[in-house]
Amino acid sequence: MTNTGIRTIANVTRIALIGAAAAMALAGCMRTPEEKAEIAARRAAPTAVVMNATKGEAPTESGLSHYRDGYPGFGAPLTAANVQMNDEEAAGLQQKLTALSNRRKAGTITEAEYQRRVAEYRKLAADHGPETLSEITK
């Protein structure tokens, strides 16, 4: 056999081995629908658990996992600490603020009244956090 024939056989064999290795590697990546569903369930965002305020009492249940010795484990996903504002509340607040701004632009509200309401909203924003925290810690 000539050198050209040997090279051709070697190249064909090399390509066949590369193709077989790629097929085996890709076959290992295939997952069944059940495996895909299990992986999607593990990757899904956890549902939030809203816990009621205890007013100084020890909480009855915790959102954290605990080890046998009682120390909390932080490996589990954490949950929400409080109820979040829903879309209707956000839309209502946006409408109130937009209406106030439109009344100011149209001149139907005095500048003093506008500034009084702005100060009222700013005071509410500044005091709301500490007030809520004091209610929680009572």
* 76 within domain boundaries: no
Taking residues 68-86, report their average pLDDT.
Answer: 70
Question: How confident is the model over 78-111, as pLDDT tens digits?
Answer: 666 666 677 888 888 888 888 888 888 888 888 8
* 63 within domain boundaries: no
* 132 within domain boundaries: yes
How confident is the model at residue 18, as a pLDDT? 92
Taking residues 55-75, report their average pLDDT.
Answer: 67
* 51 within domain boundaries: no
The pLDDT confidence band at residue 14, using thresholds 50, 70 and 90, is very high
* 38 within domain boundaries: yes
Q: Which domain holds residue 105?
A: 85-137
* 64 within domain boundaries: no
What's the mean per-residue pLDDT of the chain?
78
Helix intervals (H) in the chain: 3-29, 33-43, 87-106, 111-137
Which amino acid appears at position 40 of this protein? A
User: Full-prediction pTM beyond 0.75?
Assistant: no
Q: 67-98 b/e with 16+ CB inside 10 Å = b?
A: eeeeeeeeeeeeeeeeeeeeeeeeeeeeeeee
